[in-house]
Structure 1
Amino acid sequence: MIEKHIQQQFNEFNRLSGKFAPFIASIPHKRIASIGRALGMFMYGMDVRHRRIVRRNLKFVYPGWSPERVKKVSQCVFQNLGITILEICQIACFSSDDIINKVNIRGEEHLLKAMQNNKGAILITAHLGNWEIVPLFWPLHFKTPLTVVARQIQSKTINQWIHGLRTRFGSRVIYKDDALPEMTRTLRNGKILAILIDQGIKSSLGIKIKFFNKFVSATPAASLLAMRCKSPVLPGFCIRNEDSTFTIYLEAPLVLKRTGDLSADLKSNTQIMTDAIEKIVRKYPEQWFWVHKRWRKYYPHLYPEDMERRRHRRSRKKQRAQSKMSQSFFQKFKD
């Protein structure tokens, strides 16, 4: 019954997006930007919760910024999100030529040189610009699939749609749950693995490092794979240009620590990779995903509403457990 309901949701989503996406695809690129900015400003005005998160994050890492600058960049962040949402619908209807013509690439010589060792390559990246266009462009340009490590979207309907978008031209998606063996296999087969490393990790496996000189919990996956497979690690980012095109920047491989002390090397290399992310975010702050509660683990006071929701959730969970125990007790008593 649940599967039938999900399938109905998926069919409805496809039906609506099938009508909506072609309409958006027909809008000129420059119009998409202006409409997306308007959508972003609407979201900024209506979405109080995420507006607070963005502004608190910016105030936290840029204490010297004036309130006016924080507000302006916050609005730009939402405008970028609005544009990204419309672009995702638009590129879903793009031909391969449309994708090629919309994206430029800089620094591919770094990748070609790194691939000569036949150890594959790890592309570390961030939720910056429009990150969803990279797995579409990559196989068209390099004639080889890109394997992307992704987190499952809670909505199965949207997750299936996004999965189809990412794999449309041949890229592969590995989901984070139990993904390490498949990621290792990808690199040992000499392929390219892309990992988004700019968001927090919930499990106890996260490594405590600094991002914008503030403590965060970061995934050690890219560091562990680089050490295990001896694969080069290249930062790569997709930046939106003013003319509504994109530029993918590929940087030279990072110089990693290999002292033999696994714990120390994991921490050092994860910090090196995170520093590369911070460098590009500082350059394009308005294009990063500041909506994420990146500093929640070590600075929970930044998000007091989140703490309150957690308390209510735990309270409701406890009440349900107690109610279930009471029902079980009375049922046994009746029996």
Structure 2
Amino acid sequence: MILLRILSRLPLAVLYVLSDIMFLLAYYVIGYRKKLVNKNLKNSFPEKSLAERKKIAKSFYRNLCDYAVETLKLVTISPTVLQKRMYYTNPEVVLKYRDQGQSMVLLSSHQFNWEWLLASGMLSLNMPIDFVYQPINNSLVDSFMQTCRTRFGGKAIKRNDVARELIKRKSIQRGIAIVADQYPGYESDKKYSTVFLNQQTVFFYGSQQMANLTQYPVLYGSVKRLRRGYYSCTLVPIAEPPYHKDSETVIENYVRTVEQVIREHPDGWLWSHNRWKKRHLQEKNNNPIRPASTQYLPG
């Protein structure tokens, strides 16, 4: 941990040199999860040529290594620099709700750099941010990640504690942030199944359950890489209450929005995640695609 803090004090320009070295090792020498990345890209984009998919994969590995050093930098980066490098294009979307005293659910996805997005939210939106997370098995890594995410005042909530914390903090106006596109790890969890990136895919149902329970408006933070070390976030309305008990509007609109963002910027998503493991779970209770209303999709 001490070594990570020391490395974090290096200028980003120096850290990006480290990222370049990591890329050479990960892509050319070690081949970090290369078979999985190539399989995911092939299944997601069967219409693309092998050369196109290789280009996406190579760019993805560069972005992944940049993500690693940028996340490391969160330990010491100044608020001013972080806000400059993670620029919100339309904060007024959130400010409208904030000025009405309204809390909201803030969804995002594993689009680089989601850690900067989580850390910068409280600074740029000027409101408390609670973020839901799944603890990492390695306690040292988990502690480091929570240090990065809470440094500017965010509150970490374990996914198993969400219901209790929602009740406990009901009177506090805030944003509740969830990165909700990863594989739902527990077989006992309620899941939502639909076709996503050309494959039957299951999603956490938690974002829909949270919206149904709180009756909060739901926004999606769409991150776009502008150039190395600089990103923009556009806040996209996903759904507005009231939500009915059996409503699936939130999760379906979320899935379609994430899919569109990935198709527009395919090298920015986390392809090294084993998103489609355990195929028998992906294929249970298949739901037909119900395209989201275009008013909820980023233009």
Q: TM-score range by the shorter chain?
A: 0.7 to 0.9
Correspondence 1:129-278 to 2 at 5 A: 129-183=112-166, 185-186=168-169, 189-203=172-186, 204=188, 205-254=190-239, 258=243, 260=244, 262-263=245-246, 265-266=247-248, 268-278=249-259
- What are the within-5 Å matches in structure 2 for residues 287-306 of structure 1? 287-298=268-279
Instruction: Specify the code of the residue in structure 2 equivalent to 1:124.
Output: L
| 1:329 paired residue number | none
Q: Which residue is equivalent to 1:17?
A: 4
Unaligned runs of 5+ in 1: 1-13, 302-335
Letter in 2 for 1:216: T
Of 92-101 and 112-121, the range deviating more from structure 2: 112-121
Secondary structure in structure 1 of the residue aligned to 2:112: coil
Scaled by the length of structure 1, the TM-score of the pair is: 0.76
Match of 1:281 among 234, 254, 262: 262
Larger Rg: 1
Distance change in 2, residues 1:34/1:240 (3 Å): farther
User: What is the root-mean-square deviation in Å for CA atoms of aligned residues?
Assistant: 2.4
**Ranges in structure 2 where 5+ consecutive residues have no aligned partner:** 283-299
State the 1:153 CA deviation.
1.3
Q: Work out whether residues 5 and 75 of structure 2, in 8 Å CA contact, stay in contact via their aligned partners in 1.
A: no
Runs of 4+ in structure 1 over 3 Å off:
31-35, 46-49, 114-119, 183-188, 255-258
On the 8 A contact 1:210/1:271 being kept in 2, the answer is: no
Partner Cα distance (2:29, 2:163) in 1: 40
The alpha-carbon deviation at position 190 of structure 1 amounts to: 2.5
Go from structure 1 to structure 2 and tell me whether the alpha carbon gap of 1:184 and 1:208 turns closer, same or farther (over 3 Å shift). farther
Cα contact 1:139–1:171 (8 A) shared by 2:
yes
Name the structure 2 match of 1:62.
Answer: 45
Provide the rounded CA distance (Å) in 1 between the counterparts of 2:59 and 2:23.
8
Return closer, same or farther for 1:300/1:135 CA change in 2, 3 Å cut-off: closer
Give how far 1:218 is off: 0.8
Counterparts of 1:228 and 1:117, CA distance in 2: 20
Farther off after superposition, 132-141 or 218-227 = 132-141
Choose between structure 1 and 2: higher helix proportion.
1
Q: Where does residue 318 of structure 1 map in the other structure? A: none
Residue 99 in structure 1 maps to residue 88 in structure 2: no
Q: Is the 8 A contact 1:281 1:288 kept in 2?
A: yes
Amino acid at match of 1:291: S
User: How far is 1:189 from its partner?
Assistant: 2.8
Q: For the Cα contact (< 8 Å) 1:186–1:192, is it kept in 2?
A: no
Q: Spell out, residue by residue over 1:106-163, the C-alpha distance to the aligned partner (whole angstroms, 9 max, x if none).
A: 1212212234554410111011111111233222223322111111111101111111
Cα displacement (A) at 1:48:
3.7
1:148 alignment partner, SS class: strand
Q: Which residue does the alignment assign to 2:58?
A: 75
Larger fraction in strand: 2
- Report the CA distance shift for 1:155/1:123 in structure 2 as closer, same or farther (over 3 A): same
Q: Give the 3 Å change call, closer, same or farther, for CA 142–119 of structure 1 in structure 2.
A: closer
Q: CA deviation at 1:169?
A: 1.2
Aligned length: 280
Task: Determine what percentage of the aligned residue pairs are the same residue.
Answer: 20
Verify the 8 A CA contact 1:36 1:80 in the aligned structure 2.
no
